[in-house]
Amino acid sequence: MKIYESNTGEYNLVMAYPAVESFALSSLGYLWLYKMADTKEGINALRISTDNISVNTKNINAISFSMSFDFDYLGVLEILEKLKIPFYSKNRDESYPFVFAGGPVLTTNPMPYVNFFDFIIMGDGEEVFSHILDILMLKLSKEETLKRLSELESVYVPDINNKTVKRASVSLNNVIYTPLISDKSYFKNTFIIEVSRGCMNRCAFCTASYTNLPYRYYDYEKIIECIELGLKYTNKIALLGAQISAHPRFNDIMKYISDKISNGVNIELGISSLRTDAISDEVIQTLVKGGQKHTTIAIEAASERLRKFINKNLKEEQILNAVKTARENGLKGLKIYSMLGIPTETEADISKFLSLAKKIKEENKGFNIEFSFSTFVPKPQTPLQWSKREDTKSLEKKQKYLEKELSKIGVNSKFSSAKWDYWQTVLSRSNENIASLLIEVYKSGGNIGAYKSALKNLGIDISKSIEGFDFDETLPWDIVESNPSKEHLKNEYKRLERRK
Ligand code: SF4
């Protein structure tokens, strides 16, 4: 159900989501830009995803993609192939639509994908998108259109730009919410409200923080208005933001929802994530009242030394308190999220997971605890962007050890695939030379075997993306004007190293 009035026009813009429709319908940023296009006079906006393509290429003027995850490129190539559009922009003449993209993956490092797109949006899309549409609707020649687009501050045109591009960071005025409520969405019939953007904590590995600085939030009154708007259409409300608990009136927002539930309003409340140190009796009580049974806290590492090194300034006492508060206030269980393979990690840091798990288990008998581990993927635009990625075999050994030892103390554990995380690292830190590898992988089915054989067949050197970079080296993503600056990231890394 659309909760706004559409407009239409002569310019056919296809907004493609490079995954299945249920994910598209739960992606707030994508849906919001779709709404912007769909309400703009002169634009006929169409939504497609990998499992829902019903457009005629001949009539398309432009096609946009939103890339939120590293492996989304597979969906991009799948859609381009289904629409019979050549993958490489250099093989598309004026008879083809413009193909452009935006999203967190590209803002962090656009280079692996630059050969596929005519232009790329860097950073927040909601302001620049409107300017882009105005230029596209002029229907000028491809050359002139790209020239004008390249003059926009946060648009990168690979064929023209030879300077760095600034990522857009907008001020948050009108609250962004789900403009399309659907039972086909991954979050069924849920009205998602963006409460804040970014996170001021600057954990040294975190792109959600570093590529979204400064931390911004919407006015309390506007959020409340938005909650009321959502409740006209559904009882499922979700609050979104990497660090919503840092909103200066977060407790008031929770109280507002809690009071409504107490007054008989049926609200199912979901919160994307909570900072461990923000867990309080009131917050958990509201979540429980709103039907939530479990939540996740991210501790990243069990040892305080390692947490200090990655700038996750969380004391063990705070973790223990968070679990206790979650249990005492009625949650059924808690997932504790961590990473393995953080630079400088030692055997003692790994053993610390066991002593922490034991302590949590003893203090919270009968409470459902699960440890969930991913492996460290060094990300561009963060102080750890230069770091080496740990060897897959060594990570798998740590995973097996922890799985066995945690189960001995009766704690469940889950692990991401170290092999897939390896390829995520390659995608995150590569340059444009891997474009042919990506195409080959896509054509061979996109599984782990496909990556290995494509690498062997093409002989592309991906070692730098795994081994890491020297401080004074040019980085593939230097085209993105880092904010904070590269110098700042270097100094931050050095500062953290002194703390380890
Ligand atoms: S608290 Fe979470 S979102 Fe914030 S910087 Fe750390 S990992 Fe990122």
Q: What are the residues whose beta carbons fall under 8 Å from the beta carbon of 494, sequence distance 6 or more?
A: none
Whether the Cβ atoms of residue 377 and residue 300 lie closer than 8 Å to each other:
no
Predicted confidence band at 500 (pLDDT cuts at 50, 70, 90)?
A: low
pLDDT single digits (tens) 54-113 = 877 778 999 999 999 999 999 999 999 999 999 999 999 999 999 999 999 999 999 999
What order do you get walking across the sheet with 155-156 strand by strand? 43-49, 11-17, 62-66, 98-102, 119-121, 155-156
**208 CA distance to ligand 1 middle (Å):** 7
**154 CA distance to ligand 1 middle (Å):** 25
Nearest 10 degrees: Cα torsion 340, 341, 342, 343: 160
**How many Cβ atoms are within 10 Å of 229's Cβ, its own excluded?**
14
Cα(213)–Cα(209) distance, rounded to whole angstroms?
A: 6
* Pocket probe mutation, ligand 1, options 108, 195, 199, 382, max atoms within 8 Å of Cβ: 199
* Predicted local distance difference test score (pLDDT) of residue 55: 76
Q: What are the residues whose beta carbons fall under 8 Å from the beta carbon of 104, sequence distance 6 or more?
A: 67, 68, 207, 208, 211
**408 CA distance to ligand 1 middle (Å):** 31
Cα(101)–Cα(154) distance, rounded to whole angstroms?
A: 12
pLDDT single digits (tens) 8-33 = 999 999 999 999 999 999 999 999 99
Closest ligand 1 atom number to CA of residue 311: 6
Query: Got the DSSP string for 357-386?
Result: HHHHHHHTTT-EEEEEEEE----TTSTTTT
Three-class secondary structure of residue 131 per DSSP: helix
Report the candidate in 282, 353, 276 with the shortest Cα–Cα distance to residue 320. Answer: 276
Cα(352)–Cα(333) distance, rounded to whole angstroms?
A: 21
CA distances from 85 to 80, 93, 120, 464 (A): 5, 10, 17, 32
Closest ligand 1 atom number to CA of residue 201: 5
Cα(55)–Cα(48) distance, rounded to whole angstroms?
A: 8
Asked if pLDDT for residue 163 goes beyond 80, the answer is no
Structure pTM?
0.95
Give phi and psi for 333, each to the nearest 5. -165, 175
**335 CA distance to ligand 1 middle (Å):** 16
Name 371's bridge partners: 336, 413
Predicted confidence band at 152 (pLDDT cuts at 50, 70, 90)?
A: very high
Closest ligand 1 atom number to CA of residue 312: 6
**2 CA distance to ligand 1 middle (Å):** 33
Whether the Cβ atoms of residue 216 and residue 231 lie closer than 8 Å to each other:
no
| Cα 132 from chain centre | 23
Asked if pLDDT for residue 253 goes beyond 70, the answer is yes
Q: Whose CA is nearest to atom 1 of ligand 1?
A: 201
* Predicted local distance difference test score (pLDDT) of residue 323: 95
* Predicted local distance difference test score (pLDDT) of residue 46: 94
Three-class secondary structure of residue 409 per DSSP: coil
| Cα 284 from chain centre | 25
Residues framing ligand 1 (Cβ under 6 A): 199, 201-203, 206, 208-209, 242-243, 275, 298
Q: Whose CA is nearest to atom 2 of ligand 1?
A: 242
- Write down the mean pLDDT value for the chain: 94
Q: Find the helix packing angle between 347-363 and 316-328, rounded to 10°.
A: 30
First to last CA, the chain: 52
- Tell me the three-class secondary structure of 227-290, residue by residue: HHHHHCCCCEEEEECCCHHHCCCHHHHHHHHHHHHHCCCCCEEEECCCCHHHCCHHHHHHHHHC
373-382 as b/e: b if 16+ CB within 10 A: bbbbbbbbbb
Three-class secondary structure of residue 137 per DSSP: helix
**307 CA distance to ligand 1 middle (Å):** 12
pLDDT single digits (tens) 276-301 = 888 889 989 998 988 888 889 999 99
pLDDT single digits (tens) 223-243 = 999 999 999 999 999 999 998
Predicted confidence band at 186 (pLDDT cuts at 50, 70, 90)?
A: very high
Q: What are the residues whose beta carbons fall under 8 Å from the beta carbon of 2, sequence distance 6 or more?
A: 38, 179, 180
Closest ligand 1 atom number to CA of residue 242: 3
| Token output for 14 | 């296809």
**126 CA distance to ligand 1 middle (Å):** 23
Report the candidate in 21, 90, 86, 12 with the shortest Cα–Cα distance to residue 45. Answer: 12
* Predicted local distance difference test score (pLDDT) of residue 482: 83
pLDDT single digits (tens) 391-427 = 999 999 999 999 999 999 999 999 999 999 999 999 9
Query: Got the DSSP string for 59-118?
Result: G-SEEEEE--SGGGHHHHHHHHHHTT--SSGGG--TTSPEEEEESHHHHH--GGGTTT-S
DSSP state of 175: P
Q: Whose CA is nearest to atom 8 of ligand 1?
A: 206
Asked if pLDDT for residue 162 goes beyond 80, the answer is no
**209 CA distance to ligand 1 middle (Å):** 6
Show the domains of the chain with their CATH numbers.
11-166 (3.40.50.2300), 171-292 (3.30.750.210), 296-421 (3.30.750.200)
Q: Whose CA is nearest to atom 3 of ligand 1?
A: 242
pLDDT (mean) for 314-321: 95
Predicted confidence band at 350 (pLDDT cuts at 50, 70, 90)?
A: very high
